[in-house]
Structure 1
C-alpha cells in the first residue's frame, strides 16, 4: 500500500471500537510496544493543508503535506539516517521541524534535534540549526544556529517567515542557566535575540505571537516578568515572585493570553484546594477572586481554545481528556461528531484562521488507541488520516474505570482499574502499577500500553494516585510531602487491600510494579508488606534517597543543584534534619527484608536515576534473595526508547508474572526426575 493510501482512507462506515469480538490468540507484544505507526498531524492555518509524519517499511519517518481540497500528497522532507520529530506551520506556505533518531537509545545519541524549514511543496529547504557542537563552520557555509536551539511549543503569529525559537545555555546535566529567545527568519536563517530581564527559563507568546511573559528560578523563588504590550523588546517589569516548589498561596502558572490581552492563569487562589483558571490583573499581579473554569474534584489541567477573536472552549483533564465548548457552533459540531462516533472521546482541533470546513479529530477510548481523522463540517463526512496502533482491536481490549477508595486515615485515593474482558466479578491476579514522579498525575482514562498488555495476559491492574500525586487538589499533593516510604506507601498498600475487599483481587496473587519513583515504591512495598505483595518489578527505580543527593563517582546525575538545595528538602526530606527518616525509608538499607521474587531493570545511560541505584541494590538484595532477575539495557536512559528493548522487557515481565502470580504459579512442581513436556 502506498503512502497516500496509508494516510487517507475511505469515509468511515462504522463507529470506532464497534468491531465484533472474535476469539484469538493473545495480542503480540509488538502491537503494544512497537513505535506507533502514525503520529503527529497538523492543519495549516487556513485548514487547506495537512502536514503529517509517515513511515513505512524500512524507511525513516518523513514529512508529507496533503492538499485536502485536491486530495493530493507531497513528500516534503525525508532523511536516510534520522526521523522527523516535531512539526509546526510557520505560515500557510512554510513548515518548521526538527529530528530524532528512533533507532538508537539515549546512550548512543550524538546529535541534537537540529532545526529545519521547508515549503509545503518541498522547495526552499533550509537547515537552520546545527545538529552537532562544531565551533568552526566550513568556509562559505550558511551560518547555522548552535545545536542548543529548539522549537517553541507555542505556535507563533503564522503570518510571516519569522518564528521564535529557544536557545539554552546549559552548564551541565540538569543545569540550565538561562533560556534566550531568538527571532528567526526561516528563509535566510538570520536570528536576533529578543532580550531577557534575568536568567530566564521559559517564555510565553501573546495571542498575536509576540513575547509577553518570561520567568526564572533563583534560590528556590520563581519570578515572572511581563513586557508591556506597547513596549520595546527590553522593557520588562517584575510581575510576581513566589516559592518555586510546593504550593505557593499567591503563586500561579501562566496559561495563555486572550485576543483582548487578558492573561489567564492557573492558581490555588484564596485558599481554594483545587487549581482553577483565573484571570490576572497585569497592573497589580493579583489573581482574580472568581475562577473562570473550575473542575469539581480535580485541579485544572489543559488549555484554552481561541478562535475568531474570542474564547471558543476549554480542553481539560478530569477522569479523561475532554472539551467544554463555549461557542454554540463548536458545541453543535461536537454533538454531530459524537453522534457519529459514539464509542470514543473525540477531541477537535480547528485551524487558527479557518477558510475551509476541515477540522482535525483525535478519537480515543479506554479500549481504542488514538485515531486521527479529518471531519468536513459542511459535508458531515470523515476521512481517516491514520491509526496510531492499527494492530490493536478495540473489542479485544479491557475496560477501564476511574474510581476512588479510602486510605487508612480517610484520605480519598483516586485510581484507575483495568479488568480483563469477561472476568468482571472474579478474583484475579492483580498488578499494582505505581506511577513515577511522584509529583505528577500518573494517568487518565484512556488506552495505555502497559495496563492493556497486562490485562490481555489475564491480570487486573490498579493504578493508584497516592498522596503527593498532582491533579487532585493542594491537600492531596501536600499530604505527600516528606512521605516517601511512609503514608504514600500506605496508600498503595491500602489500594491492594481495597481490591481484595471488593472481590477484585486474589489475596495470594498480588504483585507490585513501577518505574522511577514507582520502582522505589515497589521495593518499599516488598519490604514493608511482604504478606501482601508476592513479587515485585522495579525498572529505573530510586533505591536510596541519600544517593539522589550525593550521587556516585561512577555516573552522572541530571538532578539540578537548585532542586537538591530547595526542592528535595521540602518535598522529600532534608539530608541532615531528616537523616533518620531517610535511613528508615531506604530500600537499599532494607534489602535484607526482601525475600520475594524480584525483577530489576535499569538503563546504562540513565542520568535521572543512574545505574548505580540498581547495581548497589542488586548486590545487597542478592545476598539474601536467590530469586532476583537483573537486566541492563546499556544504551537506554530513564525508560526504554527502543521497541526491541520494550518488547524484551515486557516479555520478561510476562514470564515473571506467569510463574509468580499467573497461570504458571498454580501449576504444581513435577519434582526432580519427572518427565518433561515436549
Structure 2
C-alpha cells in the first residue's frame, strides 16, 4: 500500500473557502445568468447577460454571512433573496433589480421577529409573490400577496386556524392547507368558498412522507406524495374535479425523492427515486432524449436546476463523488450542452476519491444503506470500495435525524479521506427516504436502537478490514452532534474521540426551546423523541440525554457551537461542557458568536475545520495542515480546552490579539 504522504494534501481553503461560483440559475426569460460568488470575500448574487458572462456584476451587497438562498421572479430583471441575521433564522425577503445598485435591496418583510416563507411565485402573476409572514403571531404565518413594485402587502388570509402550510394555485388562490392534529397527524383542508373544510386525514406515521405537492397551471391536477396504505412514498396525480387518483410512480425500495416539472404547465415529466444512487424514470416522452443527453455527461449525477419559461434552455449541474459541481447550459433546440464553468476550480486535478454505496446489516435484520470513502493511498479500485489494509476511520453522522445521506460530492468526506481517514456515512433507522417503516423504527429510539445501528456499522467496518478497533472517531452536526455525544456516553469505549457540532445534550431543554413557528410539528417531535408533558416521557428524555451520562466520558471531545442557534441553543453545549468541567473531564469548546445552526461564514468554517483537523490528528493519527492563519477573519472563541488541540493556543493568541485590536 502506498503512503499517505504520496497523496497531495488538499488545502482547507480549496475545500471550505468560498466557491468561485455556486447556485447558478437562468432567468425565466433567458436573458440573464445568475450565481453566487464572493464580493470582498462575502457571497453575493452576481448577474450577467446570458450571452456575455464577462459582463457579470454583483447585484447584492451583503457584508456579513453572504447570500445562500435566492430566486428569480417573473417580473423582468427582478430577483429575491432570503437572509437572516447572525444565523438566527429570522429570514427576511429582499428584492433586488438587475439594473439597480446593490445597496438598493429592499426588505419586503421589514417587520420585527418575522420569518418569511415564500408560498408562491407564478408567471401568471408576474408583479406579485405570495408570502407567509408571522409578525402577527410568532407561531403561525398569515398569507399575503406582496407587490414587487411598491412593496405593499395585501392580506390573503389571516391564519386563525393554526394552518401549518398552504398550497395555492397559479393565481395565488389558496386551494389546500394542512393543519396539525392533536395526535400528531395532519388534517388536509380544501377551500369551500371562503371557508376551509376537512377533506382528508394524514395519520401520524405518514406525516413525514405524505403531502400535497403542487397544482398544474390550469388547476386540474394535484400532485400528491402518499405513503398511506403502503410503505414507500408513491407519486399520485389527483383530478381536482372528481378526486380520481392515478399512480405516476412507485418503487418498493425507496421513496419518490425528486421531480422534473414543466416550467409553464406544472406537469410532471420525470420522477427520481434514490436507494443507493438516484435513478430517473421518464413520465413524459417529450424529455426522454433530453435526459439521455444529460446522462451522457458521465457516471455522476446531472440535475436540472432551472429552466426558461419557454423551456428552450435549461441550466444543468453535474457532479460525481470525486468531481465537484460543474455547470452547463443546455439548448434543447440544438440538443447541445455547453460547459459554463466549474464551481470550485481550485479542486481541479486534486486527489479526490470515489464514494461506494454499501448495505450494512443491523443486529435486528434491517439494511442500513451507507456510503464508504477511503483515502487515495489505501484504495484498491475494487468494486467493494474496501481499502488495501485497515486505516483510521471517522463515522460521519448526518443531522435531522429525519434526513438521509446520499451519493455525491461531499467536501467533508474528501477532507477527511485526504487527511488519512476512511469515512463511513450511515443511514441509521429514523432516516428518511427508505419508507415510513424505516423512519418510524427510530421513534423513541434516540440513544437506543438508532445508536445501535451506528455501533453495528463500526463493527461491520472492523470486520471488513476498513479499520481497527480503537481507531474510529465519531463526528456530526445537529442530530449527528447528539450521536457523537451519545457515542461517548452510552458506549464510551467504542470511539477514540468525538467531534460534536451544534448537537443537543439535554433533550428536555431541546424540546422546551424549539422556535415558536415549529408549533405545528411539536406533536411529531414529542412522539418521535419523547413527550416532555408526561412523567414517562420526561424520564425517557432524561435517560436518552448525554448530559445525564456525562461522567462516563473517557475519550477526547471537541464541541463546536453557534451562539445564535435557534434550534439547538448555546445552552445545549454549555450544559455538557459545564458538567464535564465540574467533573474534571477535559473538553475543547469552540464558540462562534455570529453563527447559528452550523457555520455559514467561510472564515468560520475554515477556522472550525482547522481546529477539528488538529484535534483528529492528535487522537486518530491522521495528518493535519497547520492551523496557520486560518483563524483570521473568523469570530472563533475557545472558552475552554484550547490546549487539547496541537497548535491552537499559539494560533489563538495571535487571533485574540487581532480581535482585541
Q: What band does the TM-score fall into relative to the shorter chain?
A: 0.7 to 0.9
Shift of 1:345: 1.6
Deviations 1:429-482 (A, max 9, x none): 1111112221222x2111112111111111111111111111111111111111
Equivalent position of 2:364 in the other structure: 409
> Equivalent residues in 2 for 1:185-334 (5 A)?
185-195=147-157, 198-206=161-169, 210-217=173-180, 219=182, 220-227=184-191, 234=194, 236-243=196-203, 245-247=204-206, 252-259=210-217, 261-270=220-229, 272-280=230-238, 282=240, 288=245, 291-306=247-262, 309=265, 310-321=267-278, 323-334=280-291
Give secondary structure in 2 for the equivalent of 1:165. Answer: strand
In structure 1, C-alpha distance between the alignment counterparts of 2:191 and 2:54, rounded to whole Å? 44
Preserved CA contact (<8 Å) 2:489 2:549 = yes
Equivalent position of 2:659 in the other structure: none
Deviations 1:262-321 (A, max 9, x none): 111111132x111111234647878x4x63211341112223412574432224544344
Give secondary structure in 2 for the equivalent of 1:519. Answer: helix
* RMSD of Structure 2 on Structure 1 (CA): 3.4
Preserved CA contact (<8 Å) 1:45 1:158 = no
Deviations 1:94-144 (A, max 9, x none): 32313548xx7336x9x96342252x555999765457548xxxxxxxxxx
Preserved CA contact (<8 Å) 2:290 2:335 = no
Deviations 1:404-427 (A, max 9, x none): 111111111111111122412321
Equivalent position of 1:437 in the other structure: 400
Closer/same/farther in 2, CA of residues 612 and 414 from structure 1, 3 Å limit: same
Preserved CA contact (<8 Å) 1:117 1:186 = no
Q: Residue 27 in 1 paired to residue 6 in 2?
A: no
Equivalent position of 1:369 in the other structure: 324
Equivalent position of 2:132 in the other structure: 166
Decide which of 95, 106, 112 is 2:87's aligned counterpart. Answer: 106
Equivalent position of 2:351 in the other structure: 396
In structure 2, C-alpha distance between the alignment counterparts of 1:405 and 1:614, rounded to whole Å? 32
Equivalent position of 2:611 in the other structure: 652
Closer/same/farther in 2, CA of residues 500 and 380 from structure 1, 3 Å limit: same
Aligned residues: 605
Deviations 1:510-556 (A, max 9, x none): 111122222222122122323321111112111122222456xxxxx
> Equivalent residues in 2 for 1:344-493 (5 A)?
344-349=300-305, 351-354=307-310, 356=312, 358-393=313-348, 396-423=351-378, 424-441=387-404, 443-493=405-455
Q: Residue 621 in 1 paired to residue 618 in 2?
A: no
Closer/same/farther in 2, CA of residues 221 and 273 from structure 1, 3 Å limit: closer
Deviations 1:308-347 (A, max 9, x none): 74432224544344543333342212223433x2243222
Closer/same/farther in 2, CA of residues 202 and 125 from structure 1, 3 Å limit: farther
Preserved CA contact (<8 Å) 2:176 2:189 = yes
Equivalent position of 2:531 in the other structure: 574
Q: Residue 642 in 1 paired to residue 601 in 2?
A: yes
Decide which of 109, 116, 120 is 2:95's aligned counterpart. Answer: 116
Closer/same/farther in 2, CA of residues 520 and 382 from structure 1, 3 Å limit: same
Closer/same/farther in 2, CA of residues 267 and 543 from structure 1, 3 Å limit: same
In structure 2, C-alpha distance between the alignment counterparts of 1:326 and 1:599, rounded to whole Å? 48
Closer/same/farther in 2, CA of residues 327 and 130 from structure 1, 3 Å limit: closer
Deviations 1:606-660 (A, max 9, x none): 2322222222212322355544222222222221122122112111221111121
Shift of 1:225: 2.6
Q: Could you tell me the TM-score, scaled by structure 1's length?
A: 0.80
Equivalent position of 2:382 in the other structure: none
Equivalent position of 1:604 in the other structure: 563
Preserved CA contact (<8 Å) 2:7 2:377 = no
Shift of 1:483: 0.6
Equivalent position of 1:543 in the other structure: 505
Name structure 2 gaps, 5 residues minimum: 379-386, 625-661
Q: Could you tell me the TM-score, scaled by structure 2's length?
A: 0.82
Shift of 1:491: 0.5
Give secondary structure in 2 for the equivalent of 1:396. Answer: coil
In structure 1, C-alpha distance between the alignment counterparts of 2:366 and 2:311, rounded to whole Å? 51
> Equivalent residues in 2 for 1:48-197 (5 A)?
48-58=31-41, 61-68=44-51, 73=55, 75=57, 77-79=59-61, 81=63, 84-91=67-74, 93-98=76-81, 100=83, 105-106=86-87, 113-118=92-97, 121-122=99-100, 129=107, 132-133=110-111, 148=114, 150=116, 152=118, 154-157=120-123, 160-169=126-135, 171=137, 175-177=138-140, 179-195=141-157
Preserved CA contact (<8 Å) 1:31 1:392 = yes
Preserved CA contact (<8 Å) 1:599 1:628 = yes
Give secondary structure in 1 for the equivalent of 2:396. Answer: strand
Decide which of 468, 481, 486 is 1:506's aligned counterpart. Answer: 468
Preserved CA contact (<8 Å) 1:467 1:488 = yes
Shift of 1:401: 1.5
Equivalent position of 1:526 in the other structure: 488
Preserved CA contact (<8 Å) 1:403 1:417 = yes
Preserved CA contact (<8 Å) 1:347 1:363 = yes
Name structure 1 gaps, 5 residues minimum: 1-21, 135-146, 552-556, 666-678
Greater radius of gyration (CA): 1
Preserved CA contact (<8 Å) 1:346 1:361 = yes
Closer/same/farther in 2, CA of residues 170 and 276 from structure 1, 3 Å limit: farther
Equivalent position of 1:670 in the other structure: none
Give secondary structure in 1 for the equivalent of 2:270. Answer: strand
Q: Which has the higher helix share?
A: 2
In structure 1, C-alpha distance between the alignment counterparts of 2:110 and 2:263, rounded to whole Å? 39
Give secondary structure in 1 for the equivalent of 2:566. Answer: coil
Preserved CA contact (<8 Å) 1:75 1:122 = no
Preserved CA contact (<8 Å) 1:239 1:285 = no
Equivalent position of 2:23 in the other structure: 40
Give secondary structure in 2 for the equivalent of 1:589. Answer: helix
In structure 1, C-alpha distance between the alignment counterparts of 2:339 and 2:124, rounded to whole Å? 26
Equivalent position of 1:342 in the other structure: 298
Equivalent position of 1:137 in the other structure: none
In structure 1, C-alpha distance between the alignment counterparts of 2:504 and 2:309, rounded to whole Å? 48
In structure 2, C-alpha distance between the alignment counterparts of 1:595 and 1:449, rounded to whole Å? 30
Give secondary structure in 2 for the equivalent of 1:370. Answer: strand
